[in-house]
């Protein structure tokens, strides 16, 4: 078990994963620090987390910031000299932002499948397209057999336009 009070925590937030990797590489090469991990955030930002002695982390964050700025934009940097033990779950989390986004995508996908199944049932419950003297219904606004409007024509040419717009 690592005591959180025995090291400093450095955070650098960049736009893009490539800039984040560049920052992590520069930090490790410039000082005696260790990369804890990275975290993808919304909007394409990546937070790289490093740990080490206070002086080493300060030097590493400065080098990482300069190096990442050459690749893409650096949003922010922060150094926490002795993080409280209450922050352990946040610091050592395994990419929580991506996990929550993936779960939301799964929920949305299931909801969309449910909606599409309901739409299929609604469409299948409707009667087949009616024809008059061999002509198909062409107006997709009023579905009236007597309407001469064809799909793609202005709405105003529909005979029921004034009734529909209310």
- The confidence score (pLDDT) of residue 99 equals 42
59-107 per-position pLDDT tens digit: 999 999 999 999 999 999 999 988 877 777 777 766 544 444 555 555 5
Host domain of residue 134: 122-166
Question: Does one domain contain both 86 and 131?
Answer: no
Give the pLDDT score at 85. Answer: 77
Whether 21 and 91 map to the same domain: the answer is yes
Domain contains 43: yes
Whether residues 135 and 91 fall in one domain: no
Q: What are 52's two structure tokens?
A: 């080490």
pLDDT of residue 108: 59
Decide if 104 is inside a domain. Answer: no
Residues in the chain: 166
Backbone angles phi, psi at 34, to 5 degrees: -125, 135
For the chain, the domain total comes to: 2
Which tens digits make up the pLDDT trace of 2-45?
Answer: 565 678 999 999 999 999 999 999 999 998 999 988 888 888 89
Considering the domain architecture, whether residues 68 and 137 belong to the same structural domain is answered as no
Strand residues in 91-138 grouped as ranges (E): 131-132, 135-136
Out of 97, 131, 147, a domain closes at 97
Residue 143: inside a domain, yes or no?
Answer: yes
Quick one: 87 and 131 in the same domain? no
Mean pLDDT of 112-130: 54
Running DSSP on this structure, what letter comes out for residue 145?
A: T
């Amino acid at each position: 078990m690592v005591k959180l009070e025995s090291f400093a925590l450095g955070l650098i937030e960049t736009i893009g994963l490539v800039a984040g990797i560049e920052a992590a590489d520069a930090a490790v090469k410039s000082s005696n620090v260790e990369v804890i991990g990275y975290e993808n955030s919304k909007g394409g930002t990546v937070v790289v987390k490093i740990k080490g002695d206070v002086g080493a982390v300060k030097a590493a964050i400065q080098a990482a910031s300069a190096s990442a700025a050459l690749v893409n934009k650096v949003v922010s940097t922060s150094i926490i000299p002795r993080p409280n033990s209450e922050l352990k779950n946040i610091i050592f989390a395994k990419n929580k932002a991506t996990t929550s986004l993936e779960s939301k995508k799964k929920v949305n996908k299931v909801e969309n499948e449910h909606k599409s199944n309901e739409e299929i049932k609604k469409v299948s419950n409707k009667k087949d397209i009616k024809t008059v003297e061999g002509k198909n219904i062409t107006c997709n606004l009023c579905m009236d057999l007597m309407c001469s409007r064809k799909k793609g024509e202005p709405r105003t040419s529909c005979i029921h336009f004034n009734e529909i717009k209310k």
